[in-house]
Amino acid sequence: MASAIGRASLKTWLISRHVDSAAKSLTSYIIHDTQFRKSSSGSYSDEGKSTSSWTLGRLTVAGGVAAGFGLLYGWSREHEGVQAATVEEGVFVKGLPNYSLDEVSKHSTESSAWMTYKRGVYDVTEFIKHHPGGKTIMLGVGGAADPFWHLYAVHKEPHVLKLLSQYRIGNLEEDDVEHQTKNMDDPYANEPKRHPALKPTSQKPFNAEPPAALLVANFHTPNELFYVRNHLPVPEVDEKDYSLTLEGEGVKTLTLTLDELKKKFPKYKLSAAIQCAGNRRSELSKFEGLDLDATGSPYGASVPAERALDPKSEVLLAYEMNGEPLSRDHGFPVRVIIPGVVGARSVKWLSNIILSKEESTSHWQQNDYKGFCPSVDWDTVDFKSAPAIQELPVMSLICEPGNGWRVKAKDGKIAVKGYAWSGGGRKIVRVDVTGDQGKTWHVAKLQQEDKKHGRHWAWTLWTVEIPVDPKGKQTEIWAKAVDSSYNTQPESSAHIWNLRGVLSNAYHKVIVNLIQ
């Protein structure tokens, strides 16, 4: 397998996908597929980033190859001024016509697309035309949204229901409601236990982050406090039944058990920070997001194989994390770690690696994790015009003190701690911090691994003391990082806003209250 992949074109990519794509491309790719329809790596939080020491097995002499997992398709849309509905959505509405399931099922085409939610019947024809995943939604029209939303509980938010209410056309016959929703057992009944210090941003699916102050307590984040980003219920995989299949064009198919992965390939360790493209997304205040999976299709993500085949990239398969077996939340039994790349590519629950001449056509590769001009909106966006995000820009975060903390100065100064990181293995060379809105800056002391140029995969922790006005009641702290290419952070989010809410790397700012 090593020699076959080694002969692959340098135009190859690493991809996750579930079904074969009919699309052709001038570029070749390596596809990694999965049998599980579950969670992604990465966080949609403000602080969801962690560094761990990973134990991995190399699958090629030239370098590692990446892995994939099963997930869902997603969508995001800007909703300004949307308020919670005053009436519960999906209840019977007097005065609207009644429709049977048989009647709803007749409307399952692009020219007439109906679906139901509880007692409500909705004509989503126009909605699908403007939805980036409209073709995927079409597979669910003519029936009920309830089973899907039972699985993806994030949809049961007021702004989502308010959006749905705009397409209400009638009521579902009462006798048909039970038929639509029967046998909907809770798919989240067997979720793993989590540390109580994690701050959930959603329960079903479970997404959570550690308090920011805990992030800088250790260079390697303890496994129990590593942020969790899931889109679906966490799979239960028996390691005795686990196998990894490697296949593709011009490559002899190879299947390996977990035991073979551990014994046939050298063990390799590295430290790497994992971060989602949507980190600090809440600072882009115009953004609202939804994640959907109308088909059960797994997540799709592509990474250039030239990166995987380069030994300097250290792209590897992981079965241990900080010296312990991977937990279910973090991809047990095998996940990929693609250091220096957006966390969405470090996917979990690997089952297949495939060499192909096609990039993944999944929603997540084609219509998500892409950046756009601030003036592009959902009426003008062309997802084909932008490449998928790979390396993330330089960024930093203030972890101590937190926003709104009460802090007492010592000798006229307060201590500030945080982290910084840049994609592509670029080293953090400086972190500047100010307490007077940029009039004076103070250079932080850095804690980082001593690595070769271009291999700084882990984050950098930093500390600094800054002077404050002894008579002041508040101070606003700003932080900005500079990497080895002298990239630095923009001052404001105003000019980097984008409709997907990704790549938010403006100065991090917190306001603290001073105790006299």
CA proximity to 513, closest of 467, 476, 461 = 476
CB-side neighbour CA atoms (13 Å) of 278: 20
CA proximity to 502, closest of 283, 179, 337 = 283
From the list 276, 280, 330, 345, the catalytic residue is: 276
CA proximity to 194, closest of 205, 183, 178 = 205
From the list 155, 159, 442, 455, the catalytic residue is: 155
Active site residue 44: no
Q: Does domain 395-515 have CATH number 2.60.40.650?
A: yes
Q: What are the residue ranges of CATH 2.60.40.650 in the chain?
A: 395-515
Domain covering 77-181 in this structure, CATH number? 3.10.120.10
pTM of the model as a whole = 0.70
Dihedral of the alpha carbons of 360, 363, 367, 370, in degrees to the nearest 10: -60
Q: In the CATH hierarchy, which top-level class contains the domain 2-72+207-385?
A: alpha beta
Active site residue 131: yes
Q: What are the residue ranges of CATH 3.10.120.10 in the chain?
A: 77-181
| Those residues with Cβ within 8 angstroms of residue 401's Cβ, 6 or more apart along the chain or in another chain | 407, 414, 416, 477, 510, 512
From the list 99, 369, 419, 507, the catalytic residue is: 369
CA proximity to 232, closest of 302, 182, 291 = 291
Phi first, then psi, for residue 328 (nearest 5°) are -60, -45
**Which residues is 476 bridged to in the sheet?**
511
From the list 17, 77, 229, 280, the catalytic residue is: 229
Question: What confidence score (pLDDT) does residue 386 get?
Answer: 93
Cβ 115 vs Cβ 122: under 8 Å: yes
Q: What are the residue ranges of CATH 3.90.420.10 in the chain?
A: 2-72+207-385
How would you class 389 by CB atoms within 10 Å of its CB: exposed for 0-12, middle for 13-18, buried for 19 or more?
buried
Name the one residue in this structure whose structure tokens are 């994690």.
198
Give the C-alpha separation, 360 to 354, whole Å.
Answer: 11
Name the one residue in this structure whose structure tokens are 């004076």.
440
* pLDDT by position in tens, the chain (length 516): 322 222 233 334 444 332 222 222 222 333 333 333 223 333 223 344 566 655 544 332 222 222 222 222 222 233 333 333 445 788 899 999 999 988 988 888 878 889 888 889 999 888 877 665 555 566 567 767 665 555 555 556 677 778 788 889 999 998 887 766 655 567 788 889 888 788 888 888 888 888 888 888 889 988 888 988 887 788 888 999 999 888 887 889 999 999 999 999 999 988 999 887 777 665 543 322 222 333 445 666 778 888 877 889 998 889 999 989 999 999 999 998 899 999 888 878 888 777 777 777 777 788 888 999 999 988 898 988 999 999 999 999 999 999 999 999 999 999 999 999 999 999 999 999 999 999 999 999 999 999 999 999 999 999 999 999 988 999 999 999 999 999 999 999 989 998 888 999 999 999 999 997
Active site residue 276: yes
Asked whether the bond before 132 is cis by omega within 30 degrees of 0, the reply is: no
Structure tokens at 28: 């070749």
**Amino acid making up residue 49:** K
From the list 18, 77, 107, 131, the catalytic residue is: 131
Cβ 284 vs Cβ 504: under 8 Å: yes
Question: What confidence score (pLDDT) does residue 446 get?
Answer: 98
Give the C-alpha separation, 402 to 214, whole Å.
Answer: 11
Q: How many CB atoms lie within 10 A of CB 260?
A: 14
CA proximity to 18, closest of 147, 136, 148 = 136
CB-side neighbour CA atoms (13 Å) of 174: 2
Give the C-alpha separation, 172 to 100, whole Å.
Answer: 6
Q: How would DSSP label each residue in 148-182?
A: HHHH-GGG-SHHHHHHHHTTEEEEE-HHHHHHHHT
Cβ 297 vs Cβ 18: under 8 Å: yes
Active site residue 229: yes
Question: What confidence score (pLDDT) does residue 253 get?
Answer: 93
